[in-house]
Amino acid sequence: MDPRRVALRLDHASVAVPDLAVAVEHLDRRLGLRASVTPQAPERHGRVYLDRSYLEVAAGSAETGWEVTLFFLRFDDPEALRAHLDDGGIAYRFGEYEGVDGTWDDVEIRLGTVPLPTLIRRTAPEVVARDWPPALAETHRCGARTLTAVHVEVPSLDEAVDAYRRLLGAEQVPWLDNERQARGQASVRPATGEIVLHQGGSSGIIGIVLGVPSLAATRTALEGRLGWMDEKVAWLDPDETFGLRLGFAELEAHPRPGV
């Protein structure tokens, strides 16, 4: 392994909603997820804090549904990241993103037509950036503790696997095993969390999974609203999430939650 290889961690996913206040109330009442409204933009921005990861919830969807628009991996060392991307022949653009309550290094990467995350590092305010994202301070009623996985649909699974091998390292993205290949899927492991690639006709994020200590306890907390199982993930009926595909998985089934 290249000694300059950088650790990329699953940081957060962005959920676009038509109305933030309605979404915050629904997240708490129906899904057992406590959202914090950002004081600097209370009408349009909030977060569901998890342990060293989070869901960003932002008003901006022109439709009536909820949609995951982006997901982000976190890095620590900009120079090491530049060297790593150069070594991998990955096209990139370093920028700075001014958010509603701080500033981030923002790195856009490109490898063909494969949908890839944005790479980020919070830089300001310094006292906040020093320990960002924060540890989980208070348990959610549904039991959610981590952003465990992001599911992404890709037109070519082979091309996507090759792209993620270059980004994360071959040891983090094994070639397709027979069972996953038969299902048209591949598992990608950053330093924390998981990215699940699905062969499909489009490009984009099709679901997110939150880690919980006990699916049985989550079912009870959500009063039976958890639906069908796909491998070890229990998915909510999309009608409960305005079209968003949101699932829960027991943490022991995913050995590397966000830390």
Alpha-carbon distance of 53 to 38, in angstroms, equals 16
Pairing of β 36-37 and β 67-74: unpaired
The answer to whether 56 and 102 are in contact (CB under 8 A) is no
3-state secondary structure at position 2: coil
| Residue 53: C-alpha distances to residues 14, 38, 103, 231, 252 (Å) | 11, 16, 17, 23, 18
Instruction: Tell me the CB-side half-sphere exposure of residue 154, using CA atoms within 13 A.
Output: 26
Q: What pTM was computed for the model?
A: 0.92
Q: What is the pLDDT of residue 84?
A: 94
Q: What is the mean pLDDT of each run of 10 residues along the chain (259 residues)?
A: 72 97 97 97 97 96 86 97 94 97 97 94 98 96 97 94 89 62 84 94 92 96 88 92 96 51
Phi, psi at residue 61, to the nearest 5°?
-75, 130
Write down all domains in the chain, each with its CATH number in brackets: 146-253 (3.10.180.10)
Q: Which residues make beta-bridge pairs with 47?
A: 36, 56
